[in-house]
Amino acid sequence: MVTRCKEARTPPAARTIRCGFCGGSFAEDRGQPACRGCPLGSGCGSIRCPACGYENTAAPAWLDTLVARASRWRRKLMHVRGGS
């Protein structure tokens, strides 16, 4: 019988967050989620910078994607205008 290995799914790369206080960059999964232990429960989406402890606002993924697409369109538009 031929067995076929299931292709392992690579998890998506963690976003890089630039700390709003110390300016250091860290992968989202290396920051400590601030929600643990907060009486308000989850929802604020803050990510604590592992270097300085500042609570950074982590935008929802869809918003990040939207902003990235918008900036790509802007660059393309500028490129088209510059080229014409």
Can you spell out the DSSP letters for the chain? ----PPPPPPPPPPPEEE-TTT--EEEGGGSEETTTT-TT-S-S-EEE-TTT--EEE---HHHHHHHHHHHHHHHHHHHHHHH-
Does 65 participate in binding other proteins (rule CB under 8 A)? Answer: no
Q: How far is the CB of 76 from other proteins (least distance, A)?
A: 16
Q: How many residues form the binding site for other proteins (CB under 8 A)?
A: 36
- Residue ranges in contact with other proteins by CB under 8 A: 13, 16, 20-27, 30, 34, 37-40, 43-46, 48, 50-55, 57-60, 63-64, 67, 70-71
